[in-house]
Chains A and B, each alone.
Chain A
Amino acid sequence: MTQQEALFAYCLRRGDDNLILSHRLSEWCGHGPQLEEDIALTNRALDLIGQARNYLQYAGTVEGKQRSEDDLAYLRAERQFMNVKLVEMPNGDYAHTIARCFLYDAWHLPLQQALMNSADEQLAAIAAKAVKEITYQLKTSGDWMIRFGDGTEESHRRAQAALDELWTYTGELFETDEVDAVLVKAGIVPEMGPIKAAFDAKVDAVLNEATLKRPADGFMMTGGRQGKHTEHLGFMLAEMQYLQRAYPGATW
Chain B
Amino acid sequence: MTAELTREHIFSLLENVKDPEVPVISVRELGVLREVEVMDDKVLVTITPTYTGCPAMDMMRADILAELHKAGIANVEVKQTLSPAWTTDWISDAGKRKLKEYGIAPPEKTADIRALKGELPVVECPQCGSKDTVMVSAFGSTACKALWKCNSCLEPFDQFKCL
Question: What is the CA–CA distance of A51 and B54 in the complex, to the nearest angstrom?
Answer: 10
Question: What is the CA–CA distance of A132 and B136 in the complex, to the nearest angstrom?
Answer: 21
Contact A133 B83, CB 8 Å, known A37-B137, A39-B141: no
Contact A50 B139, CB 8 Å, known A126-B82, A128-B83, A129-B82: no
Closest Cβ of chain A to B6, distance in Å, is: 29
Question: What is the CA–CA distance of A136 and B163 in the complex, to the nearest angstrom?
Answer: 9
Tell me the chain A residues, 128-168 only, with Cβ under 8 Å from chain B. 128-130, 132-133, 136, 139-140
Band of interface residues on A? 20 to 34
Closest Cβ of chain A to B157, distance in Å, is: 14
Closest Cβ of chain A to B60, distance in Å, is: 14
> Is A212 engaged at the interface, CB distance under 8 Å to the other chain?
no
Binary contact readout A44-83 vs B (1 if CB under 8 angstroms, 0 otherwise):
1011111101100000000000000000000000000000
Tell me the chain B residues, 66-87 only, with Cβ under 8 Å from chain A. 81-87
> Is A186 engaged at the interface, CB distance under 8 Å to the other chain?
no
> Is B140 engaged at the interface, CB distance under 8 Å to the other chain?
yes
Q: Which of chain A's residues have a CB closer than 8 A to the CB of B51?
A: 46-47, 50, 133
Beta-carbon contact of B140 and A129 below 8 Å: no
Most buried by A among B53, B86, B136: B53
Partner among A51, A124, A136 whose Cβ is within 8 Å of the Cβ of B52: A51
Question: What is the CA–CA distance of A136 and B137 in the complex, to the nearest angstrom?
Answer: 12
Beta-carbon contact of A39 and B52 below 8 Å: no
> Is B122 engaged at the interface, CB distance under 8 Å to the other chain?
no
Chain A residues proximal to chain B, CB less than 8 Å: 36-37, 39-40, 43-44, 46-51, 53-54, 121-122, 124-126, 128-130, 132-133, 136, 139-140
Q: A37-B137, A125-B85 are in contact. List 8 more A-B contacts (CB 8 A).
A: A36-B137, A36-B139, A47-B143, A51-B52, A54-B82, A129-B49, A129-B52, A130-B52
Can you identify 7 A-B contacts, CB atoms within 8 angstroms? A39-B139, A48-B53, A54-B82, A125-B81, A136-B138, A139-B118, A140-B139
